[in-house]
Amino acid sequence: MKRANFISLFFILLSHLLHAQDVISWKVSIAVAPEMRQSFIEGGRLIFHVTKQHEREPRLRSEITFGVTPQHWEANLPFVLDSKDKNGLTIGLDKLKPNASDKYYFQVVYKQNIDDGQENVSGNLYSNIDSVSFSTQIQLSLTLNKIIPEATVIKHEFVKLVEIKSKYLSEFSSKPRYLKAAILLPSSYFENPNKTYPICYRAAGLNGRYTAINGLVNNKDFTDWWFTKTAPQIIYVFLDSQGPYGDTYQVDSENNGPCGKALTEELIPEIEKQVRYKADSKMRFLTGNSTGGWVSLGLQILYPDFFDGTWSYSPDPVDFEHYGLINIYEDESIFYNRYGYLQPGRRTIYGEPTFSMKDWIAGENLNSRTGNYLVSGGQFGAYNAVFGPKGSDGLPSLMFDPISGKIDHNIAKQWEKYDLKKVLEKNWSTLGPKLQGKIWIWMGDMDGLYSNVATRFLQKFMDKTENPKSDAKISFTAMAGHGQEWSDKAVLTLIAEKVDKK
């Protein structure tokens, strides 16, 4: 009888565990270490990460996340994060399939850097990693005892760092703002002090930094090729996309400020002065993948005389009638399509949806101190800030409701000036001649973010152009995914081939 009772109790417990999201009560007391209190800034977002994976820090990826913005938190007092707090947001509990023997690893981040929308960036505080066996009732204590340092660029003879204070952006923000870039010089640069080299500006993927140069210089396969006489003799510049709402997309916007103007009138002239590039050589090129694909194409279209060609891989949607699978001008919601089904946001190359738009925005809502995607630092927080107008509160106006996904078509209409296909359609008579020989785009036809749809419609427009007939080279690879054919080596080789033909 006792054994039967034990088995019965076990299955009752298991039943509760399988519905843990309904009964879990996790409380985390979070203190600020004395040595961090001077760095603490009130009003930040606390993000508590939980994972069963021990190979990485929870803050870098977690299956369960809690987010809350503490009100009036003073650094000398602990804050208790409660999983049942109605002011907080939670992701992952509804998919939790716990076992009483499971071990979970946890860590907390305090996202307080208002000049950078991301989580794991300089100035934000975080705790050590701890672990605990699963229970529906857990009380934890964590201490914010570390601060993320400023990123640094590798020291190397052929690497230059450029940093300037931007007059345009500082005036816009009423505080100092700086622009940074890292430069990789070609192997023959120091042997030819009077030579003007082609220059290529590499726009990063989402929230990419100029420090991406480190990975390339540390890649032996790349450097063994780059530092040979037969490698392309091109100056390769790594741009930085830091912004208060996430990636700035390097274009002028109401919320981020005159980023395009600052790039073309302040940063690039300074870079080119330092590397002795002569503008009249007409060898100023662009490249990038994903967000960088959009940025490189966007800069070429918006500044057609300034840049001399772009190689854009897997660009973000270039046509907002096909913003992934959403028509922002006509659809009612970004969460559900016109058939009433959940709108997918990501997929495998075999077409299997892996992530819905609703899930995507829930993640960004959680990461934002406002409790919506407004200052999430993620993809849609960035889109919203770059493409949309400023609201009456001084923050970006939301293009869609963060809970229902309902689109505000008045705001969506104002995104048109960044809809690259519409820009080309409206201005082809003047832009067309200036873009001849300057556009090269690659896209995988099974792009994981559905960006290939927009690129297909851009191609349809380009194919119909007259006076002039567009010579843009737009290619698709069947069954290829997002950025699958992106390669620094490949794109630099393509640029070198173009230069050799001049």
pLDDT in tens, 185-199: 999 999 999 999 999
Encode pLDDT of 103-126 as tens digits.
899 999 999 999 998 999 999 999
Band of pLDDT at residue 71, cut at 50, 70 and 90: very high
The Cα 473–Cα 463 span in angstroms is 10
Encode pLDDT of 232-249 as tens digits.
999 999 999 999 999 999
Query: Does residue 215 have a pLDDT over 50?
Result: yes
When mean pLDDT is compared across 15-24, 220-229, 237-246, 430-439, the lowest value belongs to 15-24
The Cα 374–Cα 156 span in angstroms is 39
Q: What is the pLDDT of residue 17?
A: 46
Tell me the average pLDDT of the chain. 93
Q: Based on the number of CB atoms within 10 Å of its own CB, is 502 exposed (0-12), middle (13-18) or buried (19 or more)? A: exposed
Q: What is the pLDDT of residue 319?
A: 98
Band of pLDDT at residue 98, cut at 50, 70 and 90: low
Closest CA to 166 of 247, 248, 258: 258
Q: What is the pLDDT of residue 86?
A: 86
CATH topology of domain 159-317+424-501: Rossmann fold (3.40.50)
Encode pLDDT of 303-338 as tens digits.
999 999 999 999 999 999 999 999 999 999 999 999
Beta partners for residue 65, in sequence order? 49, 91
Phi, psi dihedrals of residue 140, rounded to the nearest 5°:
-125, 160
* Cα-trace Rg, the chain: 25
Query: Does residue 374 have a pLDDT over 90?
Result: yes
The Cα 469–Cα 425 span in angstroms is 13
Q: What is the pLDDT of residue 181?
A: 98
pTM metric for this prediction = 0.93
Q: What is the pLDDT of residue 10?
A: 42
Q: What is the pLDDT of residue 67?
A: 95
Phi, psi dihedrals of residue 221, rounded to the nearest 5°:
-60, -40
Give the rounded percent of residues in the chain with a pLDDT score beyond 90. Answer: 87
Would you kindly state where each structural domain of the chain is located, as residue ranges?
2-147, 159-317+424-501, 321-417
Query: Omega into 258 within 30° of 0, i.e. cis?
Result: no
Encode pLDDT of 5-60 as tens digits.
544 444 444 444 445 555 778 899 999 999 999 999 999 999 999 999 888 899 99
Query: Does residue 370 have a pLDDT over 90?
Result: yes
Handedness of CA 170, 117, 285, 456 (dihedral sign): negative
Q: What is the pLDDT of residue 100?
A: 66
Q: What is the pLDDT of residue 8?
A: 45
Mean pLDDT over residues 62-72, rounded? 94
Beta strand 257-258 pairing with 235-239: unpaired
Return the DSSP state at 134.
Answer: -
Q: What is the pLDDT of residue 1?
A: 43
